[in-house]
Amino acid sequence: MGMERRVTAVLACLVLGGGLSAAGAPGGGRGEVPAVPLDAPVAHGPDASTGRVVADCGRNGERHYNEDNLVVSPGVRAGAHHTHAYVGNLSTTAASTDASLAAAATSCRDGDRSTYYWPVLRRTDLPGREAYERAAGHHGNAGRILREAAVTVEFRGNPVSKVVAMPRFLRGITGDAVAHTAADASRVRAAWGCAGLPGLATVRYPRCPGGDRITRTLVFPSCWNGLDTAAPDHRAHLTFPAGNGACAPGTFPVPALRLSLVYEPVPPGTPLALDSFPEQQHSPRTDHAMFVNVMDPAAMERVVDCINSGRSCRGSRDSSGSG
Protein backbone atom coordinates (compact mmCIF):
# COMPACT_ATOMS: atom_id res chain seq x y z
CA MET A 1 0.00 0.00 0.00
CA GLY A 2 2.85 2.39 0.85
CA MET A 3 4.51 1.69 -2.51
CA GLU A 4 1.21 2.40 -4.33
CA ARG A 5 0.94 5.78 -2.61
CA ARG A 6 4.53 6.67 -3.53
CA VAL A 7 3.97 5.70 -7.18
CA THR A 8 0.78 7.78 -7.30
CA ALA A 9 2.57 10.79 -5.78
CA VAL A 10 5.42 10.56 -8.30
CA LEU A 11 2.97 10.25 -11.19
CA ALA A 12 1.02 13.25 -9.94
CA CYS A 13 4.17 15.38 -9.84
CA LEU A 14 5.16 14.30 -13.34
CA VAL A 15 1.70 14.88 -14.80
CA LEU A 16 0.54 17.97 -12.93
CA GLY A 17 3.94 19.55 -12.40
CA GLY A 18 4.34 20.74 -15.98
CA GLY A 19 2.12 22.78 -18.24
CA LEU A 20 0.88 22.11 -21.73
CA SER A 21 2.32 24.81 -23.95
CA ALA A 22 -0.37 27.27 -24.94
CA ALA A 23 0.25 30.22 -27.21
CA GLY A 24 1.40 33.01 -24.90
CA ALA A 25 0.18 31.13 -21.83
CA PRO A 26 2.52 30.67 -18.89
CA GLY A 27 2.25 27.36 -17.08
CA GLY A 28 1.47 29.00 -13.77
CA GLY A 29 4.82 29.75 -12.14
CA ARG A 30 5.29 31.76 -8.95
CA GLY A 31 6.72 28.71 -7.18
CA GLU A 32 3.41 27.09 -6.20
CA VAL A 33 3.25 23.42 -5.29
CA PRO A 34 2.35 21.79 -8.62
CA ALA A 35 -0.04 19.13 -7.33
CA VAL A 36 -2.18 19.74 -4.26
CA PRO A 37 -5.28 18.07 -2.81
CA LEU A 38 -8.43 19.55 -4.30
CA ASP A 39 -10.34 19.05 -1.05
CA ALA A 40 -8.20 19.55 2.02
CA PRO A 41 -9.46 17.37 4.86
CA VAL A 42 -11.63 19.29 7.33
CA ALA A 43 -12.94 17.82 10.58
CA HIS A 44 -16.73 17.59 10.64
CA GLY A 45 -18.54 19.01 13.64
CA PRO A 46 -21.75 17.64 15.19
CA ASP A 47 -23.87 20.05 13.13
CA ALA A 48 -22.19 19.31 9.80
CA SER A 49 -24.36 19.19 6.68
CA THR A 50 -22.95 16.22 4.78
CA GLY A 51 -25.45 15.68 1.96
CA ARG A 52 -25.04 16.56 -1.69
CA VAL A 53 -27.24 17.33 -4.66
CA VAL A 54 -26.08 16.63 -8.22
CA ALA A 55 -28.03 18.06 -11.16
CA ASP A 56 -27.96 16.98 -14.79
CA CYS A 57 -27.78 20.19 -16.81
CA GLY A 58 -26.16 18.69 -19.89
CA ARG A 59 -22.87 19.79 -21.42
CA ASN A 60 -23.93 22.76 -23.54
CA GLY A 61 -25.24 20.68 -26.41
CA GLU A 62 -27.22 23.78 -27.36
CA ARG A 63 -23.96 25.64 -28.21
CA HIS A 64 -24.85 28.50 -25.87
CA TYR A 65 -21.82 30.79 -26.15
CA ASN A 66 -21.33 34.55 -25.97
CA GLU A 67 -18.86 37.22 -24.82
CA ASP A 68 -21.26 38.59 -22.20
CA ASN A 69 -20.97 38.49 -18.42
CA LEU A 70 -24.31 39.07 -16.73
CA VAL A 71 -22.80 38.95 -13.22
CA VAL A 72 -19.85 41.31 -13.74
CA SER A 73 -20.98 43.48 -16.68
CA PRO A 74 -24.80 43.45 -16.83
CA GLY A 75 -26.16 45.28 -19.84
CA VAL A 76 -22.78 45.40 -21.62
CA ARG A 77 -22.73 43.34 -24.81
CA ALA A 78 -19.42 41.51 -25.36
CA GLY A 79 -18.15 43.04 -22.12
CA ALA A 80 -16.09 39.97 -21.24
CA HIS A 81 -13.82 40.27 -24.31
CA HIS A 82 -13.67 36.47 -24.26
CA THR A 83 -16.17 33.67 -24.82
CA HIS A 84 -18.17 31.94 -22.10
CA ALA A 85 -19.87 28.54 -22.27
CA TYR A 86 -23.13 27.94 -20.41
CA VAL A 87 -25.34 25.25 -18.93
CA GLY A 88 -28.70 25.77 -17.31
CA ASN A 89 -30.65 28.83 -18.39
CA LEU A 90 -30.79 28.95 -22.19
CA SER A 91 -31.51 32.67 -22.51
CA THR A 92 -28.59 34.21 -20.62
CA THR A 93 -27.03 37.31 -22.15
CA ALA A 94 -25.82 40.62 -20.77
CA ALA A 95 -29.35 41.94 -21.28
CA SER A 96 -31.01 39.28 -19.11
CA THR A 97 -33.15 40.36 -16.17
CA ASP A 98 -34.42 38.41 -13.19
CA ALA A 99 -37.81 38.23 -14.91
CA SER A 100 -36.41 37.01 -18.23
CA LEU A 101 -34.29 34.36 -16.53
CA ALA A 102 -37.26 33.11 -14.52
CA ALA A 103 -39.33 32.72 -17.70
CA ALA A 104 -36.69 31.01 -19.86
CA ALA A 105 -36.09 27.41 -20.84
CA THR A 106 -33.26 25.44 -19.26
CA SER A 107 -30.93 22.57 -20.07
CA CYS A 108 -31.28 21.19 -16.51
CA ARG A 109 -33.48 18.09 -16.34
CA ASP A 110 -34.82 19.07 -12.92
CA GLY A 111 -36.13 22.39 -14.27
CA ASP A 112 -33.51 24.57 -12.56
CA ARG A 113 -33.38 27.85 -14.51
CA SER A 114 -30.16 29.01 -12.89
CA THR A 115 -27.33 30.03 -15.20
CA TYR A 116 -23.84 28.59 -14.82
CA TYR A 117 -20.96 29.72 -17.07
CA TRP A 118 -17.17 29.82 -17.53
CA PRO A 119 -14.53 30.82 -20.13
CA VAL A 120 -13.98 28.32 -22.93
CA LEU A 121 -10.83 26.25 -23.41
CA ARG A 122 -9.35 26.15 -26.93
CA ARG A 123 -7.00 24.12 -29.07
CA THR A 124 -4.78 26.72 -30.65
CA ASP A 125 -3.43 24.28 -33.24
CA LEU A 126 -6.84 24.13 -34.95
CA PRO A 127 -8.83 27.03 -36.40
CA GLY A 128 -12.29 27.89 -35.17
CA ARG A 129 -14.98 26.82 -37.61
CA GLU A 130 -18.12 28.38 -36.16
CA ALA A 131 -19.03 32.06 -35.82
CA TYR A 132 -19.08 31.78 -32.01
CA GLU A 133 -15.52 30.42 -32.09
CA ARG A 134 -14.28 33.45 -34.03
CA ALA A 135 -16.26 36.14 -32.18
CA ALA A 136 -13.53 36.94 -29.63
CA GLY A 137 -10.63 36.63 -32.07
CA HIS A 138 -9.97 40.36 -32.16
CA HIS A 139 -9.24 40.14 -28.43
CA GLY A 140 -6.63 37.43 -28.96
CA ASN A 141 -8.88 34.45 -28.24
CA ALA A 142 -8.68 32.14 -31.25
CA GLY A 143 -8.69 28.45 -32.05
CA ARG A 144 -11.06 25.49 -31.92
CA ILE A 145 -13.21 25.42 -28.77
CA LEU A 146 -12.61 22.20 -26.88
CA ARG A 147 -16.06 21.03 -25.92
CA GLU A 148 -16.86 19.54 -22.55
CA ALA A 149 -17.49 15.79 -22.50
CA ALA A 150 -19.26 16.12 -19.15
CA VAL A 151 -20.40 18.92 -16.85
CA THR A 152 -21.48 18.24 -13.26
CA VAL A 153 -23.46 20.81 -11.28
CA GLU A 154 -23.21 19.90 -7.61
CA PHE A 155 -24.21 21.45 -4.29
CA ARG A 156 -22.47 20.41 -1.07
CA GLY A 157 -22.88 21.22 2.58
CA ASN A 158 -20.74 22.77 5.30
CA PRO A 159 -18.44 20.75 7.60
CA VAL A 160 -19.42 22.59 10.78
CA SER A 161 -23.04 23.69 10.38
CA LYS A 162 -26.32 23.29 8.56
CA VAL A 163 -26.92 25.33 5.41
CA VAL A 164 -29.68 27.83 4.71
CA ALA A 165 -31.38 28.52 1.41
CA MET A 166 -29.76 30.71 -1.21
CA PRO A 167 -32.01 33.65 -2.06
CA ARG A 168 -33.42 33.58 -5.56
CA PHE A 169 -31.31 35.59 -8.05
CA LEU A 170 -28.20 35.42 -5.88
CA ARG A 171 -25.12 36.18 -8.02
CA GLY A 172 -21.80 34.45 -7.44
CA ILE A 173 -18.27 34.41 -8.86
CA THR A 174 -15.20 32.28 -8.23
CA GLY A 175 -11.62 32.73 -9.39
CA ASP A 176 -9.73 35.74 -10.67
CA ALA A 177 -9.97 36.70 -14.34
CA VAL A 178 -7.02 39.10 -13.91
CA ALA A 179 -4.79 36.78 -11.87
CA HIS A 180 -1.84 37.07 -14.27
CA THR A 181 -1.42 40.79 -13.57
CA ALA A 182 -2.89 40.92 -10.05
CA ALA A 183 -0.73 42.11 -7.16
CA ASP A 184 -1.44 38.94 -5.19
CA ALA A 185 -2.98 35.50 -5.65
CA SER A 186 -5.65 35.76 -2.96
CA ARG A 187 -8.51 35.30 -5.42
CA VAL A 188 -6.98 32.50 -7.50
CA ARG A 189 -9.18 29.40 -7.40
CA ALA A 190 -7.97 27.62 -10.53
CA ALA A 191 -8.06 23.83 -10.12
CA TRP A 192 -6.89 21.94 -13.21
CA GLY A 193 -6.30 18.22 -13.24
CA CYS A 194 -6.50 14.86 -14.99
CA ALA A 195 -9.45 12.51 -14.66
CA GLY A 196 -7.06 9.66 -13.90
CA LEU A 197 -5.77 11.52 -10.83
CA PRO A 198 -8.97 12.47 -8.99
CA GLY A 199 -8.66 14.71 -5.98
CA LEU A 200 -5.44 16.42 -7.13
CA ALA A 201 -5.28 19.84 -8.73
CA THR A 202 -2.83 22.38 -10.09
CA VAL A 203 -2.98 26.00 -11.23
CA ARG A 204 -1.10 24.99 -14.39
CA TYR A 205 -2.36 23.40 -17.58
CA PRO A 206 -2.02 19.69 -16.77
CA ARG A 207 0.03 17.36 -18.95
CA CYS A 208 -2.29 14.37 -18.89
CA PRO A 209 -1.18 10.95 -20.20
CA GLY A 210 -2.43 9.82 -23.58
CA GLY A 211 -6.09 8.83 -23.39
CA ASP A 212 -6.70 10.66 -20.10
CA ARG A 213 -8.97 13.70 -19.87
CA ILE A 214 -8.27 17.24 -18.67
CA THR A 215 -10.52 18.47 -15.87
CA ARG A 216 -11.42 21.84 -14.39
CA THR A 217 -13.09 22.18 -10.97
CA LEU A 218 -14.71 25.48 -10.07
CA VAL A 219 -15.70 25.83 -6.40
CA PHE A 220 -17.79 28.84 -5.39
CA PRO A 221 -17.96 30.83 -2.14
CA SER A 222 -20.73 29.70 0.18
CA CYS A 223 -21.01 32.21 3.07
CA TRP A 224 -23.84 34.67 2.36
CA ASN A 225 -24.23 37.99 4.18
CA GLY A 226 -27.97 37.39 4.63
CA LEU A 227 -28.92 40.63 2.90
CA ASP A 228 -27.83 41.05 -0.69
CA THR A 229 -28.02 39.07 -3.92
CA ALA A 230 -25.17 41.10 -5.44
CA ALA A 231 -22.45 43.57 -4.45
CA PRO A 232 -20.58 46.39 -6.20
CA ASP A 233 -17.42 44.26 -6.32
CA HIS A 234 -19.51 41.12 -7.14
CA ARG A 235 -17.92 39.34 -4.14
CA ALA A 236 -18.56 41.00 -0.77
CA HIS A 237 -22.04 39.49 -0.35
CA LEU A 238 -20.85 35.89 -0.89
CA THR A 239 -17.49 34.86 0.55
CA PHE A 240 -15.49 31.70 1.17
CA PRO A 241 -15.48 29.94 4.55
CA ALA A 242 -12.35 29.78 6.68
CA GLY A 243 -9.98 26.84 6.47
CA ASN A 244 -11.96 24.98 9.12
CA GLY A 245 -15.18 25.41 7.12
CA ALA A 246 -16.73 28.04 9.37
CA CYS A 247 -18.38 31.11 7.90
CA ALA A 248 -17.35 34.50 9.28
CA PRO A 249 -19.58 36.13 11.91
CA GLY A 250 -22.55 37.80 10.29
CA THR A 251 -22.59 35.40 7.33
CA PHE A 252 -24.56 32.22 6.79
CA PRO A 253 -23.59 28.97 5.04
CA VAL A 254 -25.56 28.27 1.86
CA PRO A 255 -25.26 25.22 -0.41
CA ALA A 256 -21.71 25.21 -1.82
CA LEU A 257 -21.82 25.15 -5.61
CA ARG A 258 -19.18 23.18 -7.51
CA LEU A 259 -18.86 22.90 -11.29
CA SER A 260 -16.79 19.99 -12.59
CA LEU A 261 -15.79 20.04 -16.27
CA VAL A 262 -14.30 17.06 -18.09
CA TYR A 263 -12.93 17.25 -21.66
CA GLU A 264 -12.47 14.64 -24.36
CA PRO A 265 -8.87 13.38 -24.53
CA VAL A 266 -6.42 15.38 -26.62
CA PRO A 267 -3.02 14.16 -27.85
CA PRO A 268 -0.22 14.84 -25.35
CA GLY A 269 1.44 18.17 -26.12
CA THR A 270 -1.65 19.69 -27.70
CA PRO A 271 -1.41 23.49 -27.26
CA LEU A 272 -4.29 24.79 -25.16
CA ALA A 273 -5.40 28.27 -24.17
CA LEU A 274 -8.05 29.43 -21.75
CA ASP A 275 -10.00 32.43 -23.06
CA SER A 276 -8.92 35.56 -21.22
CA PHE A 277 -8.50 39.31 -21.39
CA PRO A 278 -5.61 40.09 -23.79
CA GLU A 279 -3.20 41.24 -21.06
CA GLN A 280 -3.78 38.01 -19.10
CA GLN A 281 -2.07 35.97 -21.83
CA HIS A 282 -4.31 32.91 -21.42
CA SER A 283 -2.82 32.11 -18.01
CA PRO A 284 -4.52 29.04 -16.51
CA ARG A 285 -4.47 30.85 -13.17
CA THR A 286 -7.19 33.17 -14.50
CA ASP A 287 -9.79 30.39 -14.58
CA HIS A 288 -13.11 31.62 -13.19
CA ALA A 289 -16.85 31.04 -13.35
CA MET A 290 -20.13 32.73 -12.50
CA PHE A 291 -23.68 31.75 -11.61
CA VAL A 292 -27.08 33.26 -10.95
CA ASN A 293 -29.43 31.20 -8.77
CA VAL A 294 -32.86 31.03 -10.41
CA MET A 295 -34.21 27.96 -8.58
CA ASP A 296 -37.72 28.49 -7.33
CA PRO A 297 -37.83 28.65 -3.51
CA ALA A 298 -39.46 25.22 -3.14
CA ALA A 299 -36.69 23.58 -5.18
CA MET A 300 -34.02 25.36 -3.15
CA GLU A 301 -35.64 24.15 0.08
CA ARG A 302 -35.44 20.57 -1.22
CA VAL A 303 -31.74 21.08 -1.91
CA VAL A 304 -31.24 22.41 1.63
CA ASP A 305 -33.22 19.54 3.17
CA CYS A 306 -31.24 16.93 1.26
CA ILE A 307 -27.88 18.45 2.26
CA ASN A 308 -28.81 19.03 5.90
CA SER A 309 -30.15 15.50 6.31
CA GLY A 310 -26.96 13.94 4.95
CA ARG A 311 -28.52 12.39 1.85
CA SER A 312 -27.33 12.18 -1.76
CA CYS A 313 -29.95 13.44 -4.23
CA ARG A 314 -30.23 13.77 -7.98
CA GLY A 315 -31.47 17.25 -8.83
CA SER A 316 -33.68 19.69 -6.94
CA ARG A 317 -36.82 17.64 -7.64
CA ASP A 318 -35.48 14.63 -5.73
CA SER A 319 -36.69 14.73 -2.14
CA SER A 320 -35.88 11.11 -1.33
CA GLY A 321 -32.18 10.69 -2.08
CA SER A 322 -30.07 7.85 -0.82
CA GLY A 323 -27.13 7.14 1.40
- Work out the percent of the chain whose per-residue pLDDT is above 70: 88
On whether the CB atoms of residues 191 and 216 are closer than 8 A, the answer is yes
**Domains identified in the chain, total number:** 1
Confirm whether pTM is higher than 0.75. Answer: yes
pLDDT tens-digit readout, 237-265: 999 999 999 999 999 999 999 999 999 99
For residue 319, is it within any domain?
A: no
CA separation for the pair 60, 91 (Å, rounded): 13
Terminal CA-to-CA distance of the chain, rounded, Å?
28
161-181 average pLDDT score? 98
Which 3 state secondary structure label does DSSP give 172?
strand
Radius of gyration of the chain (CA): 19
Greater confidence (33 vs 44) lies with 44
51-62 confidence digits (pLDDT tens): 999 999 999 999
In-domain check, residue 135: yes
Rounded Cα–Cα distance for residues 196 and 75 (Å): 41
**How crowded is residue 146: how many other Cβ atoms within 10 Å of its Cβ?**
18
CA neighbor of 12 nearest in space, from 209, 184, 293: 209
Q: Is residue 323 part of a domain?
A: no
Is residue 305 domain-resident?
A: yes
Structural domain contains residue 253: yes
Chain mean position to CA 82? 16
Indicate whether 322 belongs to any domain: no
pLDDT at 79 over 50: yes
**Residues 123-139 pLDDT 10s:** 999 999 999 999 999 99
pLDDT in tens, 83-123: 999 999 999 999 999 999 999 999 999 999 999 999 999 99
Whether 224 maps to a domain, the answer reads yes
CB 185 within 8 A of CB 3: no
C-alpha to C-alpha distance for 77 and 257, rounded to whole angstroms: 26
Supply φ then ψ for residue 11, to 5 degrees: -60, -40
Within a domain: residue 61? yes
Q: Which residue segment(s) compose the domain that 299 sits in? A: 2-314
